[in-house]
């Protein structure tokens, strides 16, 4: 008798008969007959022992394979398959041949109690048949699952958790070989098997607040030796507690460019999903509307409630404006992970002024000059309106545009004495900054031309 073994690490074969169809077990058939195949049957079947004690052993399956209720000469020494599904221990398949009287005796080594399937494939002369002989465990032992220490991992990473299934055999704790294992995390259910030493490993996520439970079901006195057990929920420990920005605020919109007030609220969460207010450093960065590098605008520390408010100036060096994107960054600190916000816009308004307004003679003509600016920089290419007070009203005389430095001039075509002023109605910031703010309107004081 020649033995063939098939092993799988996870799962059961749903149809044991399928093992005989993959080319492993080949049963020679007798000569073809024109009549219907003769029915065949396994008779006088027995398994010794039919009740198997831990840690398993040899089970001898015996009986006869008859055709038409007897042992025709042409049917003697027929070959059939013996199939055993041992759950986590894998699958066993052997070919067995009857003797001259159609009898057989086949020793099977079972590491766990499992039924034995006898299958004759049949041919054109003799019909196929199949029958199962039960083999059960003499006792199911109380089980316990021990999870090995888990090394802390980065939040939202995947880790491998190791453990062992033990069972109490007559007061001694021994590994439960090949016990089925199921584990659940956040509604995700997966299965595997312990190995011959009761050890197993599972892949779980280091997700804050997502507990893991590991179970082994009650044995039905087949495929494994131990009973049901479920661990208490546990969490994968984290190397650092993740942080998150849960709220940002702007004091007023649009914000005066000279005083931009921003706030932030930061929390942290531990492995069990318990949230806490984060007290630690935070950084505020700015990126110009046209793009480019981020500039650190402020450093602050959140209070015990996780909040902080900062006020920054919207004026940068060389007359540039802080019109663009902003973001908060929570830097990594001992015990806490880094986090931050996506870029966000702060709409600003830039106060303007008209200064240096005066008259000057240019040949036979009179000129009115001045400058439109914000802080120290000029507002370029902006329309300003020259107004004259006449008849009790301010009347528009002309509109001129400022130079690159914000200066403007208007030459009178005819002499109009009296009071003059200049109006700027405001406009969006230039170029890429247009969607991030505007220049505020302004009106000069009156000057007299005599």
Number of structural domains, the chain?
A: 4
- Residue 34's pLDDT band, with cuts at 50, 70 and 90, is low
Give 333-362 pLDDT, tens digit per residue: 999 999 999 999 999 999 999 999 999 887
Give 59-97 pLDDT, tens digit per residue: 999 999 999 999 999 999 999 999 999 999 999 999 999
**Looking at the chain, how many residues does it have?**
450
Write the CATH number for 61. 2.60.40
Does 40 lie in the same domain as 127? Answer: yes
235 lies in some domain = no
Which pair of tokens denotes residue 322? 């802080």
Range of the domain at 59: 3-137
Cis omega (within 30 of 0) for bond into 49? yes
Nearest to 449 by CA among 384, 368, 362, 365: 368
Does 390 lie in the same domain as 336? Answer: no
Look at residue 254 in the predicted model and tell me its pLDDT. 81
CA 296 to chain CA centroid, Å, is: 31
In angstroms, rounded to a whole number, what is the distance separating the alpha carbons of residues 207 and 232? 17
Does 133 lie in the same domain as 11? Answer: yes
Average pLDDT over all residues of the chain: 90
Does 376 lie in the same domain as 261? Answer: no
Residue 405: how many other CB atoms lie within 10 Å: 13
Nearest to 314 by CA among 304, 323, 305, 306: 323
Give the residue-averaged pLDDT of 5-12.
Answer: 35
Does 247 lie in the same domain as 186? Answer: no
Does 310 lie in the same domain as 287? Answer: yes
With pLDDT > 70 as the criterion, what percentage of the chain qualifies?
92
In angstroms, rounded to a whole number, what is the distance separating the alpha carbons of residues 305 and 246? 12
Does 277 lie in the same domain as 326? Answer: yes
With pLDDT > 90 as the criterion, what percentage of the chain qualifies?
84
Look at residue 413 in the predicted model and tell me its pLDDT. 80
Which neighbouring-strand residues pair with 200? 163
User: For the chain, give me the number of helices (H) and strands (E)?
Assistant: 0, 40
Domain boundary among 137, 160, 186: 137
Tokens 């000129």 belong to: 367
Residue 266: how many other CB atoms lie within 10 Å: 26
Domain boundary among 348, 366, 399: 348
Write the CATH number for 150. 2.60.40.10
Does 117 lie in the same domain as 13? Answer: yes
Does 118 lie in the same domain as 12? Answer: yes
Give 234-279 pLDDT, tens digit per residue: 999 999 999 999 999 987 778 889 899 999 999 999 999 999 999 9
Residue 305, helix vs strand vs coil: coil
Residues 6+ apart with CB under 8 A from 55: 111, 177, 225
In angstroms, rounded to a whole number, what is the distance separating the alpha carbons of residues 72 and 286? 95
Does 106 lie in the same domain as 51? Answer: yes
Domain boundary among 173, 205, 230: 230
Report yes or no on whether pTM surpasses 0.85.
Answer: no
Give 119-140 pLDDT, tens digit per residue: 999 999 999 999 999 999 999 9
In angstroms, rounded to a whole number, what is the distance separating the alpha carbons of residues 301 and 68? 92
């Amino acid at each position: 008798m020649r033995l063939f073994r098939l092993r799988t690490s996870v799962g059961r074969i749903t149809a044991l008969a399928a093992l005989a169809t993959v080319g492993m077990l080949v049963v020679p058939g007798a000569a073809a007959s024109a009549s219907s195949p003769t029915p065949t049957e396994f008779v006088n079947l027995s398994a010794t022992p039919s009740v198997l004690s831990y840690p398993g052993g040899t089970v001898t399956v015996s009986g006869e394979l008859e055709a038409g209720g007897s042992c025709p000469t042409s049917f003697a020494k027929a070959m059939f398959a013996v199939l055993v599904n041992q759950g986590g221990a894998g699958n066993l398949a052997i070919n067995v041949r009857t003797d001259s009287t159609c009898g057989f005796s086949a020793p099977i080594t079972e590491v766990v109690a499992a039924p034995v399937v006898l299958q004759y494939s049949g041919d054109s002369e003799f019909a196929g048949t199949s029958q199962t002989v039960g083999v059960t465990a003499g006792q199911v032992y109380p089980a316990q699952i021990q999870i090995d220490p888990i090394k802390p991992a980065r939040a939202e990473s995947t880790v491998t958790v190791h453990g062992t299934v033990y069972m109490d055999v007559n007061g001694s704790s021994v590994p439960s070989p090949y016990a089925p294992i199921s584990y659940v995390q956040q509604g995700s259910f997966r299965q595997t098997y312990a190995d011959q030493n009761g050890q197993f490993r599972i892949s779980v996520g280091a997700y804050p607040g997502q507990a893991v439970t590991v179970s082994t079901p009650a044995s039905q006195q087949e495929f494994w030796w131990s009973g049901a057990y479920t661990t208490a929920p546990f969490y994968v420990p984290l190397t650092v507690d993740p942080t998150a920005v849960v709220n940002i605020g702007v004091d007023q919109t649009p914000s005066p460019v000279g005083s931009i007030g921003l706030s932030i609220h930061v929390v942290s969460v531990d492995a069990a999903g318990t949230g806490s207010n984060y007290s630690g450093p935070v950084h505020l960065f700015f990126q110009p509307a046209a793009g480019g590098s981020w500039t650190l605008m402020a450093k602050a520390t959140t209070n015990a409630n996780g909040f902080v408010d900062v006020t920054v100036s919207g004026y940068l060096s060389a007359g540039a404006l802080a019109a663009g994107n902003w973001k908060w960054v929570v830097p990594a600190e001992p015990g806490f992970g880094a986090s931050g916000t996506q870029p966000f816009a702060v709409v600003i308004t830039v106060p303007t002024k008209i200064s240096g307004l005066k008259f000057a003679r240019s040949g036979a003509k009179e000129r009115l000059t001045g400058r439109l600016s914000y802080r120290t920089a000029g507002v370029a290419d902006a329309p300003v309106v020259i107004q004259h007070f006449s008849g009790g009203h301010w009347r528009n005389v002309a509109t001129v545009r400022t130079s690159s430095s914000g200066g403007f001039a208007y030459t009178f075509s005819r002499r109009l004495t009296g009071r003059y002023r200049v109006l700027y109605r405001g406009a969006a910031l230039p170029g890429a900054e247009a969607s991030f703010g505007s220049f505020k309107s302004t009106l000069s004081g009156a000057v007299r031309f005599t």
